[in-house]
Chains A and B, each alone.
Chain A
Amino acid sequence: MEEFDKKDGFRAPEGYFGDFTSKLMDKLSEEGPAFPKKEGFTVPEGYFDGLHNNIRGSLDARETKVVRLNRYRKYYFAAAAVAAVVLLFFGINGQGTQEPTFEDLANSDIDAYFERYELGLSTYEIAEVIPVDELEINDIVDHGLEEEHIMIYLEDNIEDFEELNLEIDE
């Protein structure tokens, strides 16, 4: 076949492709949508007037209040503290009360905590702190997975069960 010159003589204005994307985007966004600009939302009367005071109130409530102790008050508080310690010592000692541990938490409490609060961790970050290599399937699944159950499942669900050539410990 005869060889043709690949050049076809056409050319584009200088800088054409550099501006093309932004020109196109401008054109796209110039096409104004044809729907109403009013949304219908309203606010309670005087809402914006009282807003600063409301925010100031919330801020003050969140900041810890520091109460300065008067000199004589110190002794009252010291005496009350000593009395409380003595009471606690005699009251608690002997009952064998222990500090609550992680095991004391009900699973439902832990579930509820994770449901309610954002952990802020990605799955990769979670995977980094959980020793996946050391986990067994029974650590995750509630009911122990017995070999017998697996066999029954395979028998029921696999068409050519025999072809699996499983070694069964009898």
Chain B
Amino acid sequence: MLTEETLVQQLKEPDSRSKAFELLVNTYKQRLYWHIRRIVLDHDDADDVLQNAFIKVFKNIDGFKGDSKLYSWMYRIATNEALSFLRTKSKRLGLSDGALQDRMVESLQADVYFEGDAIQLKLQKAIATLPEKQKLIFNMKYFEELKYEEISEILETSVGGLKASYHLASKKIEAYLRQE
């Protein structure tokens, strides 16, 4: 199996770039897709953001110095792309971040690519009430099952801070579900 260093090296070489990029996309497409999808909720939006994220990775691979792991760097790009996509969307629609989150969750009921039941929809509503960072941490830990050390490298936050945020987020969601 190809090591990460070799893959990065091949991505930087013009002759092997195309093949290495295909390997990179095929290795990370599902993980990054679900990470983005949990932020933007809609499939078409997730598809746009995912493609933009991979294009950014491709265009900026020469600037990747290897200070962090490749997947952390890609996750960071995907997260930033998804968040700035939402910011642009809320500006375009003239909505506050909270109002946009409400609208996104409401749209899930009519989304053909959401087959969740009432409980799963309620869970999404609860997640939508969390502050941006807590939401990211909760999704990455609970659904994506990333290790705290991995999340710490992606979000550049201390492990202790992540644990506290995750605990807070879980309690808020539990309280929301109990109250509803």
Contact = CB atoms under 8 A, between A and B. Distances in A.
B64 interface: no
A33 B175 CA distance: 11
A35 interface: yes
B107 interface: no
Given A40-B121, A43-B33, A58-B55, A35 B174 contact: yes
B92 A39 contact: no
Question: How large, as a class, is the contact surface on chain B?
Answer: 35 or more
Instruction: Name the residue among A26, A43, A54 with the largest chain B CB count within 10 angstroms.
Output: A43
Contacts of A42: 113-115
A36 interface: yes
B170 A40 contact: no
A22 B121 CA distance: 34
Interface size class of A (residues with CB under 8 A): 20 to 34
A32 to B, nearest CB: 8
B174 A28 contact: no
B37 A35 contact: no
A54 B51 contact: yes
Contacts of B55: 55, 58-59, 62
Interface stretch (B68-76, B95-103, B158-166): B158-166
Nearest to A117: B88
A25 interface: yes
A43 B164 CA distance: 33
B123 interface: yes
Contacts, number: 99
Query: Which of A26, A36, A40, A41: most chain B Cβ within 10 A?
Result: A41
Contacts of A56: 22
Contacts of B61: none
Given A31-B167, A36-B119, A21 B160 contact: yes
A34 B174 contact: yes
A52 interface: yes
Interface string A48-61: 10011011101100
B84 interface: yes
Contacts of A33: 142, 170, 173-174
A37 interface: yes
Interface of B: 22, 25-26, 29-30, 33-34, 37-38, 41, 43, 47, 50-51, 54-55, 58, 84, 87-88, 91-92, 113-117, 119-121, 123-124, 141-143, 148, 159-160, 163-164, 166-167, 170, 173-174, 177
Q: Which 8 A-B pairs have the closest CB atoms?
A: A40-B116, A25-B163, A28-B167, A33-B170, A40-B120, A52-B25, A29-B163, A42-B113
8 contacts: A25-B159, A33-B174, A35-B177, A39-B38, A41-B114, A44-B113, A55-B54, A59-B58
